[in-house]
Structure 1
Amino acid sequence: VILEQPPEPVTSEQGDVTAPAVGLVPLVVSGRGSAGLAGQADRLASYLEEHPELDLAAVAHALVTDRGQLPDRGVVLAADREQAMAGLRALGRGEQAPGVVSGQAQDEPRLAVLFTGQGSQYPGMAQTLTSTFPVFRDAFHNACTHLDAHLTGHAPHPVADVVLGEHGDLIHQTLYTQP
């Protein structure tokens, strides 16, 4: 029984990019030294106060695409403007608060490869990501296409169908968890 139509997708200011329908928005702030980071957090909080019309997701996007990332960094995870303001003010005071993380960037990034083995996967595990983030969806399907090419003749179903749940009962078979 369908009670109502699904909600229309929300689009960002860019028009052709669908805004994520997730609960938290990461506001990334950086500065030189703890005083620089605190100052940036305070300035951003003040700016958001002065401009209530700004969309938090658009601000978060601009913070990571339009600004350089300095060594001292903080992230405020906020579900709404009130949480964003509280987190930014806490970051500005150098205080710990829920949804606020801060630290220093490493000079040389480290690469980690994780082989989790079996047990961490579950049917439908990528459904929200593929339906919410077009970039993830495209990368996921691209990877699945390459895996399917190598599994031809061995796997009865495409990897995407198994991971996304259509044939989720097969997800615990080694053929799919460790191809």
Structure 2
Amino acid sequence: PAWLPWVVSAKSREAVREQAARLAVSVRGADTGSGAGAGAGGGALDVAHSLVSTRVAMEHRAVVVGSGLDDLLAGLDALAAGQPAPGLVEGTATEGGGVVFVFPGQGSQWAGMATELLDTSPVFAARMAECAAALSPHVEWSLLDVVRGVEGAASLERVDVVQPVLWAVMVSLAEVWRSCGVEPAAVVGHSQGEIAAACVAGALSLEDAALVVALRSRALRALSGLGGMVSVACGVSVVGELVGRWEGRVSVAAVNGPSSVVVSGDADALDELLVVCEAQGVRARRVAVDYASHSVHVERIEAELAELLAPVEPRSCGVPFYSTVSGGVIDTVGLDAGYWYRNLRGTVEFEAATRALLADGFRVLVEVSAHPVVAAGVRETIEDAGVAAGVVGTLRRGEGGWERFTLSLGEAWACGADVDWDAFYAGTRPRRVDLPTYPFQREWYW
């Protein structure tokens, strides 16, 4: 890999820092006189592989990511000194029921969001090609042309383009996580993200998922220009009182966390709501859409969706599917045309689904997207629930390549996720090299 992770773990944070210091000295070839040895005796890849193949992973963890020895050593120095660094992540592994793949709705898109991985990850590129083939019967544009920003390609500003593209990116990113041994023990999706969640869990075939996301987003174009959505930084009870004066015209669209709610409805009513929020000191902002998902507006396309999505054949799957329609686990055989209408019409019960996941013991949640969108709401819910759990992203705006993914992979490992490092280093020929001994943190008995 062009970007390598050096992983360090110990029984305490202090021991992690001393371990980093010892490793830096060893790699630089200096003898500390502590028995650490005069040097690792290998290159960056040899050290990286030896760290994951000859050491037990302990509770307190850190990962340094770099493209060469200089970057990696600078990260180790920062870790040893207790300082932040661009390629450094730290965490504490928590015991739980495995990793949850979290798929957001709209909002994670950005120009060029997947082009780096298309050129550097064969796994990602192959899955994107499969998604493009599955979408092709339902769209008149090219998935890969849109992602690469080819001149004349369809615009991501169109709802019937951005939703299928995001679906393809999320499904393909999930495949990259899996190629590194990170398998979902459960899935959850926010609004359209449930289509990707169902596909990754095995509840929908790739072809059926492509049909749902392409045809449903096309039907949404009939609602364009009629409404909108507003994000409000308050609890759902407060927001419910705020929108009560516009009954039937504004409704709660999504409950993302204890103080993160989205409402949708008529455009003029939302303008009035924003004025009221400003007067009361409530933070609120427009969401960049011109239609009102999860509101009465959706009822206009109910019959059309029933006909368009009738061919879908859902099936039960082995991966628990936490529905944001019901707020809990459901049998995915029920993900038929009617479900995908309710998913678009009803309130997104994302906070309820997150609480159900935490109650069932899940402690590592990975947002599989081009940019973290729902991670903030998840963290709010975790804090409110009073549990120790980790939230990890995948890519970020302006960081859409292997460096960012490797850092996210390391962050997931630092939170306790199982990573198949042998799979990560597949195709390389690293040597095992000597590493410094464990830095025991001694205490006087008397």
Give me the TM-score of the superposition, normalised by structure 1: 0.64
Give the Å deviation of 1:44: 2.1
Give the Å deviation of 1:76: 2.2
Per the alignment, do residues 161 and 73 of structure 1 end up closer, same or farther by CA in structure 2, a change over 3 Å counting? same
Q: 1:28 matched to which residue of 2?
A: 7
How do 1:55-134 residues align onto structure 2 when only pairs under 5 Å count? 55-57=43-45, 59-60=47-48, 62-64=50-52, 67-78=55-66, 80-93=68-81, 95-99=82-86, 100-108=88-96, 109-118=98-107, 120-122=109-111, 124-134=112-122
CA distance in 2, matches of 1:59, 1:82: 13
Q: 1:46 matched to which residue of 2?
A: 25
Q: Structure 2: which amino acid aligns with 1:117? A: Q
Q: 2:144 matched to which residue of 1?
A: 160
> Aligned residues, how many?
152
Higher alpha-carbon Rg: 2
Q: 2:125 matched to which residue of 1?
A: 137
For residue 103 of structure 1, give the secondary structure of its aligned residue in structure 2. strand
Q: 2:160 matched to which residue of 1?
A: 175
Per the alignment, do residues 110 and 81 of structure 1 end up closer, same or farther by CA in structure 2, a change over 3 Å counting? same
Give the Å deviation of 1:89: 3.0
Higher strand share: 2
Per the alignment, do residues 97 and 79 of structure 1 end up closer, same or farther by CA in structure 2, a change over 3 Å counting? farther
Per the alignment, do residues 119 and 139 of structure 1 end up closer, same or farther by CA in structure 2, a change over 3 Å counting? closer
> Residue deviations 1:80-99, cap 9 Å, x none?
43342233133234x12323
Q: Structure 2: which amino acid aligns with 1:156? A: E
Unaligned runs of 5+ residues in structure 2 are 30-38, 164-212, 214-446
CA distance in 1, matches of 2:71, 2:5: 11
> Residue deviations 1:100-130, cap 9 Å, x none?
33220221245252324156232x3212112
Per the alignment, do residues 29 and 110 of structure 1 end up closer, same or farther by CA in structure 2, a change over 3 Å counting? same
For residue 154 of structure 2, give the secondary structure of its aligned residue in structure 1. helix
Q: Which has the higher contact order (CA 8 A, sep 6+)?
A: 2
Is the CA contact (8 Å cut-off) linking 2:7 and 2:64 kept in structure 1?
yes
Q: Percent identity of the aligned residues? A: 30
Give the Å deviation of 1:61: 5.0
- Is the deviation greater in 126-135 or in 63-72? 63-72
Give the Å deviation of 1:40: 2.8
CA distance in 1, matches of 2:19, 2:123: 29
Give the Å deviation of 1:74: 0.9
Give the Å deviation of 1:73: 0.8
Per the alignment, do residues 83 and 163 of structure 1 end up closer, same or farther by CA in structure 2, a change over 3 Å counting? closer
Per the alignment, do residues 153 and 87 of structure 1 end up closer, same or farther by CA in structure 2, a change over 3 Å counting? closer
CA distance in 1, matches of 2:77, 2:65: 13
Give the root-mean-square deviation of aligned CA atoms.
3.1
Is the CA contact (8 Å cut-off) linking 1:37 and 1:72 kept in structure 2?
yes
Give the Å deviation of 1:72: 0.8
CA distance in 2, matches of 1:161, 1:65: 41
Q: Structure 2: which amino acid aligns with 1:121? A: W
CA distance in 2, matches of 1:83, 1:33: 25
CA distance in 2, matches of 1:55, 1:79: 12
For residue 102 of structure 1, give the secondary structure of its aligned residue in structure 2. strand
Per the alignment, do residues 52 and 132 of structure 1 end up closer, same or farther by CA in structure 2, a change over 3 Å counting? farther
Unaligned runs of 5+ residues in structure 1 are 1-18
Per the alignment, do residues 41 and 53 of structure 1 end up closer, same or farther by CA in structure 2, a change over 3 Å counting? same
CA distance in 2, matches of 1:107, 1:79: 31
Give me the TM-score of the superposition, normalised by structure 2: 0.30
Is the CA contact (8 Å cut-off) linking 1:118 and 1:177 kept in structure 2?
no
CA distance in 1, matches of 2:123, 2:51: 19
